Every structure is written in C-alpha cells, then in structure tokens.
Homo-oligomer: A and B are copies of this chain.
Amino acid sequence: MATVVQKYGGSSLADADKIKRVAERIAASRQTGCQVVAVCSAMGDTTDDLIKLAHQITPRPDPREMDLLLSTGEVVSSALVAMALNSMGHQAVSLTGVQAGIQTTTLFGKAQITGIEPKRIRKELAEGKTVIVAGFQGFTEENDVTTLGRGASDLTAVALAAALKADRCEIYTDVEGIYTADPRVVPEAVKIPDISYEEMLELAMLGAKMQPRSIELAAIYEVPVLVAHSFKDSPGTLIHREAPMETRNKVRGVACDLNVGKITVLGVPDRPGIAAAIFEPLAQAGVSVDVIVQNASVEKLTDVSFTISRTDLPRAVELVRSIAHAIGAKGTTSSSGLAKVSIVGAGIQNAPGYAARTFRALADAGVNIEMITTSEIRITCIVAEEKAKEAVRILHRAFGLESGS
C-alpha cells in the first residue's frame, strides 16, 4: 500500500470549519487506498499569540520553556483534526512530536532532527488508522520538548516521509503551487508544473512559500514533494529529481526578496586576513552574510560591501563600526532600501547569454544594478527597493515566462 505524508499549514487550519475541510481532504486521500500521515501546523495565529503571551511575562523567555509553550499549538490542531476524522467514521490518532519519535538536538528554538523512530506511527498505520502528527516539534535525549524553527512543519513532513520511505510528501497551503513569479507582482505569472530540488531551493531562499531546510532534506532523501492548495483540486507543483537534460537550460522563475540590508566598509587596508577580520565576528554573532563585493584596490585601499537580512542590520552596523575602527578602515555606510531580484533555472550559469540578457533588460528599463551574485542555477541582482517589482516584471517578460512552456 502506498504511503503519503501530507502537511497542512496554519491558515488551512485557522478555525473549526477549515479543520473539518482538512479532515475531509485527508479522508478522501485515505479512500484512494493509501496510508496517510498528516502533519499539522498550529491554527492560524496561535504561535504568534503564544509568543506575545510569553513576552508579557518577560522580554527574554527561557528557550526551553518557550519551546514547550509553543509546541502546544500544533498539539491542539492535530488533536482537533483527529477528532474530526474520528467523527466522520475514519479511525485516526494524533501524536505529539515525542510520540511520533522525532528526536532532535537540544538547540531550543531551532533544534535539528537527529533521527526519527517511527515505531508508534507504523503500529497505528498497521492497525488501519490515519496518523496525525503535530508539526514543528521533537524531543531531546532528556525527553525535553524542542521546536525546529518557524515554518518547520514542512521539515517534519519531509523528514517523516523520508523515515517512512513514503511515496510522496504533499505540502498543502493557501497557494496553488510555485509560480514563475509572485502573482501579486506579475499578474501574468504562471504555475510551474514541476521543478528540481535545486531550483526550488533557490526560489525558497528567495521568498517562495517553502522552508529551504525542508527542500534540502527532500533532495538528500529524494522525497518527491507536491506543493498544492489545501482546498482546491488544482494539480500543484511537483518538486523532484529531474533527469539532467542539456536542453533544460531555461529560466524557471523570477524571485524577489525585500529583506535586504547593505553595509559598506570604506577605505579598508588591502592586506591578507582583512576579509576574515570583518566576517568572522559577524558569523560569531549569528549574522548570515549574503552577497560580498570587494572593489579593486586603489593605493592599497579597497571598499568591501556586503548584504545581510534587513532585520540583522542594526546590530550588524554596530558590530561593523567597531571592526572598521579596529582594522583601520576609513568608515562604514549602510543602506536598507534594497531588494534582491533573481532568475532561477538549472544550467543558466553555464549557458551563454542569460546573464547578459538579464543586465540588458534591466538597463533598457532604467533599473540600476548595485551588486551582482550568481550560483550554478541563479543570477541575482541587488537593486533599489522601489525598482524591485518593476525589475521582476521586466525579467518575467524578458525570459518569456508568461507562456508557461
């Protein structure tokens, strides 16, 4: 019998009515003859409400207690979904992260899954039951409850699919799949029927609605992942291992990320070890640096610019000022009015012309490119925030994505 792991997001479980509709969807899958394990996020804004409550107690809640607190949100929604299924005559049982055997590290708030012991899940499936699992949570060797980070119910689902050797992982959410661009920005954007793990990973890192860690895990275990709408019967987007094809060189989507801040260290003495001196303290402070550009050296002095999450900007600026002083740089500047616009597609870096077409299209439209970074399957331009949406539309058109082919 085929086994399917499904995941339902919080907006699909926001009230009793939606929970009943999710239960109907699960029941319908069960009736096609496969075993179903369904992972649930917390209802609607539950997690945010619990965080608010904790912050009414103290501005810095103890991480262990915070995780135990937050884990209750997914337990509530899972129990309710199981109740709904049972009331419809479908045997179901809900399991906490502990009961589902999801073992993690002790890094409260962003624990990593170290292994899954799905004994209880297998037992319940063998008894013909549908299993509902509280997402986003696991437990340590000491039997303490952990959470896996925001959006990590996706991760729970993919990890369970891998552990159970499930045939497919289905991520149900409030969008119909992955689009060539954000339909709110580009009205002619079209749904992508299927996409590779690598391409999806780039899009996810750039703001598409899936957690990057989940896609990495799916890629490692080659779990096919379907992203589809919770309540619509449209086919969704399948993320899977694609056969490598020379002819596949093409742009799959255009992504945009507004959460970009930029810092420039001016007049840095150009000597060995200077990059380490700047970036090591940032890494130690947990600030992830994205794009780094170092200008050619003029009279042994250079400017180093880099981008980070805009949310990290205030503390990073503070840190970089003291670093600049320590290394004898002339000063620092920072800017938050930036955005990252990217085209993604397997092989585009190796195929001639994609970068050139990108830069030409933006130049023709008068969009200035501040920084450029590329990967195997991505070309990213940093542009002014107010030009970002226009840039997305320009690139979507320039690469003919509206044709959906």
Contacts and interface: CB of A to CB of B under 8 A. Distances in A.
Interface of A: 15-16, 19-20, 50, 53-54, 56-58, 60-62, 64-66, 68-69, 71-72, 75-76, 78-80, 82-84, 86-87, 93-94, 96, 98-99, 120, 143-145
Contacts of A50: 76
A284 to B, nearest CB: 25
B94 A80 contact: no
Contacts of A16: 53, 56-57
Given A65-B82, A68-B94, A143-B99, A60 B87 contact: yes
Nearest to A142: B120
A75 B61 CA distance: 15
Given A64-B93, A143-B120, A75 B72 contact: yes
Interface centre among A19, A20, A80, A93 (most CB of B within 10 A): A80
Nearest to A84: B57
Contacts of A58: 83-84, 86-87
Contacts of A93: 64-65
B62 A86 contact: yes
Given A57-B20, A58-B83, A143-B99, A69 B64 contact: no
Nearest to A73: B72
A166 B324 CA distance: 60
A61 B120 CA distance: 22
A141 to B, nearest CB: 13
Contacts of A75: 68-69, 71-72
Contacts of A78: 68
Q: Nearest 9 pairs between A and B by C-beta?
A: A58-B87, A16-B56, A72-B72, A69-B79, A62-B86, A65-B79, A65-B83, A68-B79, A65-B82
Contacts of A66: 79, 83
Given A16-B53, A50-B76, A83 B96 contact: no
A269 to B, nearest CB: 45
A76 B69 contact: yes
Given A58-B86, A69-B80, 20 more contacts: A15-B56, A50-B76, A53-B76, A54-B80, A57-B80, A57-B83, A57-B87, A58-B83, A58-B84, A60-B87, A61-B86, A64-B93, A65-B93, A65-B94, A68-B96, A69-B75, A69-B83, A72-B72, A98-B98, A98-B143
A71 B79 CA distance: 11
Nearest to A88: B58
A37 B99 CA distance: 26
Contacts of A64: 93
Given A68-B75, A96-B68, A82 B62 contact: yes
B61 A83 contact: yes
A59 to B, nearest CB: 8
Interface centre among A50, A78, A145 (most CB of B within 10 A): A145
